[in-house]
Structure 1
Amino acid sequence: MFADSLCHLTAPEIDQPSVIVDQSLKRQITMINLSGTHPEDWQAQRRLAQASPQMRFNLNFGIHPWWVSDDKALMNNYIDRLEQEIHLCHGIGEIGLDYARVKTESERTLQQELFAKQLAIACTASKPVIIHCVRAHHHSPQILRNHSKWGLRGAIHGFNGNHKILDEYLDLDLYISLGPHSIKSFSKGWLPHIPANRLLIESDAPQPRPEGLSTPDGIFEIAEKMTRYRQETADQLLTLSRKNLYDVYNLSE
């Protein structure tokens, strides 16, 4: 049995998520970790989980940095809803920083503030976090470090950095989740240094591909590409990933 450590089956471009769930089960993917981006997406996750009881879903509610706004009333509403609905989810995410999407220092500050607020909520509720970080690795570790003393745990989604950045996140006891955007930097030499008990594999579906949008079974291709740089087989890597995902969320089989 296998697990997809992060995907977006409730994304609007997916017309029939239940079909993808059935296809995933045929490939022995029996657990899917869903990533949330805003309140409407959280509700879509709940509907999908109710409609597909044969799949084990982890629901994650979070306000993605792409949804950050200078509308304070809207942001406060989102935070209030997250606090009210946190008992309905397994984790908080995906949350974080994405400086590729903003141009000004004030926009970056808004992302940082929302990130910190959601981390505080996660620590108070003892929920793991899924962390999105693009072009912001010089800021993300410090914000995370500020919350580490409160029992912060979670995973860096789609890691695509270098050895130094990897060490910073490992020092924070975070898990490292590798997806399609990670592949291009496998050759930089950091991949063998991820401890076996900190490794996750994600499809990050749906991602555009020549043959169409990706699906959770993309984890098999990613694991196969990883074998060029690690000693484990693809099946061993996927087995490790499933076990580690259960550990992140304190789940039992």
Structure 2
Amino acid sequence: MAVGMLIDSHCHLDFSDFDADRDLIVNECAALGIHHFIIPGTTAARFESLISLARQTTTFSFALGLHPYFMDEHEPAHLDQLEALLVTQNVCAVGEIGLDFYLPETNKAAQVDLFLAQLSLACQYQLPVILHVRKAHDEMTKLLRDYRFSCGGIVHAFTGSVQQAERYIELGFCLGLGGSITYPRANKVRKMAAALPDTCIVLETDSPDMPLSGYQGQRNTPAQLVKVAQQLAQLRGQSVDDIARFTTANVERTLGINAIKKLPKEL
């Protein structure tokens, strides 16, 4: 089932999980109505390969950032490397960056320091951010508020409360919804997704992670974005085409891209 144009606002198509069939997946997505992909960076070691991949097609936009989950892989020099690439490359955001307090042994202070250093770069170069936040939404919104960050961005894989969502929206952020809303028992997440304003929702898969309900243990792909859109439409009592229209507009506005102009002429 093809729908109106969809954008996967968060997928890791640069990962080796897709080396064997990346082009096939992109072609499958095009047939389904998914025509653009936002690929965030995670570590400095992957920056060059991500940039090289993104240069191959106008259907990819990319961000660069140092992910909080990989703290052991980051070095102080990587911030200088990141800044140099923000100056020279056509990035759509700084990301994915943030706070991941899920693991009990997490060095929270080190994560905060790294996050604020990258937030400062985003502010300096007037770029939005793509946020990774686990078990730290209250801490994150406080940091953004105290820093007076005004470039906005996307909170990736948001599963927080309606109240937390409202705080992000007030700060100029959109909220990324993905596979979590397809789980029948995820009542709080589904109610939150149904209650959000049209103007602050974007869709994502987080491929190859975050499999949808019924696909646990399998590699996730951007082709599943249609099922996410269909589930969201059902939860909100809207058409899938309406979901496609406003979520695409939200990604384009928030990240400053024009994905429609990048479509191949034959579409």
Q: Same fold (TM over 0.5)?
A: yes
State how far apart, in whole Å, the 2-side matches of 1:151 and 1:9 are.
29
Question: How many residues are paired up?
Answer: 245
Q: Aligned to 2:9, which of 2, 5, 10?
A: 5
Question: In the alignment, which residue of structure 2 is the partner of 1:226?
Answer: 232
Question: In the alignment, which residue of structure 1 is the partner of 2:32?
Answer: 27
State how far apart, in whole Å, the 1-side matches of 2:6 and 2:216 are.
25
Q: What whole-Å deviation, never above 9, does each CA across 1:31-76 have from its counterpart, x for those lacking one?
A: 100011012322222221233x2x421110000001213x8xx521
Question: In the alignment, which residue of structure 2 is the partner of 1:214?
Answer: 220
Q: Secondary structure at the match of 2:179?
A: coil
Cα shift at 1:210: 4.7
Cα shift at 1:110: 0.5
Cα shift at 1:186: 5.9
Unaligned runs of 5+ in 2: 262-267
Q: Aligned to 1:56, which of 39, 59, 68?
A: 59
1:196 aligns with 2:195: no
- Percent identity between the aligned chains? 26
Question: In the alignment, which residue of structure 2 is the partner of 1:77?
Answer: 77
Letter aligned with residue 198 of structure 2: A
- Asked if the contact 1:97–1:133 (Cα under 8 Å) also holds between the matched residues in 2, the reply is yes
Cα shift at 1:247: 0.2
Question: In the alignment, which residue of structure 1 is the partner of 2:69?
Answer: 66
- Asked if the contact 1:18–1:48 (Cα under 8 Å) also holds between the matched residues in 2, the reply is no
* Alpha-carbon spacing, 1:100–1:195, altered in 2? closer, same or farther (3 Å): same
Question: In the alignment, which residue of structure 2 is the partner of 1:91?
Answer: 93
Stretch deviating more after TM superposition (182-191 or 85-94)? 182-191
State how far apart, in whole Å, the 2-side matches of 1:94 and 1:116 are.
13
Unaligned runs of 5+ in 1: none
Cα shift at 1:5: 0.9
- Asked if the contact 1:42–1:60 (Cα under 8 Å) also holds between the matched residues in 2, the reply is no
State how far apart, in whole Å, the 1-side matches of 2:124 and 2:216 are.
43
* Alpha-carbon spacing, 1:112–1:183, altered in 2? closer, same or farther (3 Å): farther
Q: Secondary structure at the match of 1:181?
A: helix
- Asked if the contact 2:32–2:226 (Cα under 8 Å) also holds between the matched residues in 1, the reply is no
Q: Aligned to 1:45, which of 21, 26, 50?
A: 50
State how far apart, in whole Å, the 1-side matches of 2:104 and 2:75 are.
17
Q: What whole-Å deviation, never above 9, does each CA across 1:9-43 have from its counterpart, x for those lacking one?
A: 01232223223222222222221000110123222
Q: Secondary structure at the match of 1:217?
A: helix
Cα shift at 1:211: 7.6
- Asked if the contact 2:92–2:256 (Cα under 8 Å) also holds between the matched residues in 1, the reply is no
Stretch deviating more after TM superposition (189-198 or 135-144)? 189-198
Q: What whole-Å deviation, never above 9, does each CA across 1:132-179 have from its counterpart, x for those lacking one?
A: 00011121111111233x423101000001112111111212111101
Letter aligned with residue 96 of structure 2: E
State how far apart, in whole Å, the 1-side matches of 2:19 and 2:65 are.
22
Stretch deviating more after TM superposition (84-93 or 15-24)? 15-24
Cα shift at 1:205: 0.7
- Asked if the contact 1:66–1:101 (Cα under 8 Å) also holds between the matched residues in 2, the reply is no
State how far apart, in whole Å, the 1-side matches of 2:137 and 2:153 are.
16
Stretch deviating more after TM superposition (189-198 or 133-142)? 189-198
State how far apart, in whole Å, the 2-side matches of 1:44 and 1:236 are.
35
- Asked if the contact 1:123–1:147 (Cα under 8 Å) also holds between the matched residues in 2, the reply is no
